[in-house]
Every structure is written in structure tokens, then in C-alpha cells.
Amino acid sequence: MPSFAAMPEPKRAAILNYVLGEAAAPASANRNESGTPRVPPDPASLYAFGGFTRWLDKEGYPAIKPPWGTLNAVDLNTGEIKWKVPLGEYRELTARGIPPTGTENYGGPIVTAGGLIFIGASADETFRAFDKETGKILWQSRLPFGGNATPSTYMVNGRQYVVISCGGGKSGRPAGGSLVAFALGKPK
């Protein structure tokens, strides 16, 4: 993170007041003796965030051409995209004959030494394993809530496990709180 040395003192104070939950200066402090509003010393210091506005069609799906979410493999030596596949699906669209569209995604993947990519992230509450060379889905399982987190892996008595935190709650999806672990194949 950059230094705050060049930031004017009023901006630093405003950030600290916000972070520490301290009250802003009373409204009278923003007026001069005649009662007219003072012009802030730096108008760029006034920020507001109103949230994200999604552009949706009449059925509530993104109003752009799919895919709406992808998992991409990039060759780090060349910068080329090795493969790109839709990540997530709206089952009701698939039932209508529409191929998987991908969904909005929150969370990252892990890659095992054996060449498996594990990722939750999608808005369909599904945990998937992909082949890292081809992008082919090798396995998937439903989660109790969205896996909006990067999975972790660990080993116990020589057996590898993958675990993901399932909190959901993004983009109006169901919310909860679970840790779900999966055991990989038994070692040979």
C-alpha cells in the first residue's frame, strides 16, 4: 500500500474518523460566520458508494451475451489463454436447452500437484474439479450454500482432503455458514 505522506491532513483525518467511527464535525462547522456553506478545501475528498447496479434482462439474467462467468487457464510463460470454460450454470436455462452460461463468481481456485483444479465460486452452489490441462469438468458436488471462497487442501494420515467455506449470500443467493470437506482418492 502506498504511503500517506503526500495525502493532505484533512483527508487523513476524514479517513481516520470514518474507520474509527468517530462523529463528523457538526453541520455548523461547514458554514462560515454569515451562515453560508463553506466550499470544501478539496472536493475530491468527498466519496460515496451506492452499490453495484447490475444490468439484467426481463427474466433477471445478465443482459449481455454469455458466458457470464468463466474459469480460465493462462500459460504464465507466454501469457496465452490455454483454455476458457463457463463456470457455473443456471439449471433452469440448461433445462430449456441452453448450454451452461456461467454465472457471476466470487472465489478462487486451487490446483493440486496431481493436476486437479478445485473451485466453488459460482452462483449455483456447486463445487467442481477440473482437469488443469484441458478444463474438462471431472467431478462436481452440490454445496449447502455458495462456495464464495478459495478452497484449501490438507493431508491426514497420507490422505488428501479439500475443504471449502460455504457462506453464500452474494447476489441475492441463499446465505448460511458451513465448512465442507471432500476426501480425494485413497493413496496407492
Q: In this predicted model, what pLDDT tens digit does every residue of 132-150 receive, in sequence order?
A: 999 999 999 999 999 999 9
CA 89/CA 68 separation, integer angstroms? 9
Q: Does some domain include residue 159?
A: yes
Asked if pLDDT for residue 160 goes beyond 80, the answer is: yes
Here the CATH number for the domain that contains residue 121 is 2.40.128.630
Q: Does some domain include residue 79?
A: yes
**What's the confidence (pLDDT) of residue 46?**
64
Domain identity same for 83 and 164: yes
Q: Does some domain include residue 2?
A: no
Confidence band for 31, pLDDT divided at 50, 70 and 90: low
Domain identity same for 74 and 119: yes
Asked if pLDDT for residue 153 goes beyond 90, the answer is: yes
Class of residue 47 by CB neighbours under 10 A (exposed 0-12, middle 13-18, buried 19+)? exposed
**What's the confidence (pLDDT) of residue 100?**
93
Q: What residue numbers bound the domain in which 115 lies? A: 70-183
Domain count, the chain: 2
Q: Does some domain include residue 63?
A: no
* Structure-block grid coordinates of residue 69: 462467468
Q: What is the rounded average pLDDT of the residues 21-42?
A: 58
Asked if pLDDT for residue 168 goes beyond 70, the answer is: yes
Q: Does some domain include residue 154?
A: yes
Q: Are 121 and 105 in contact (CB under 8 A)?
A: yes
CA 179/CA 163 separation, integer angstroms? 7
Domain identity same for 110 and 163: yes
CA atoms within 13 A on the CB side of 137: 16
**What's the confidence (pLDDT) of residue 1?**
53
Averaged pLDDT of the chain: 86
Does the pTM exceed 0.75?
no
Confidence band for 49, pLDDT divided at 50, 70 and 90: confident
Domain identity same for 123 and 40: no
* Structure-block grid coordinates of residue 97: 436447452
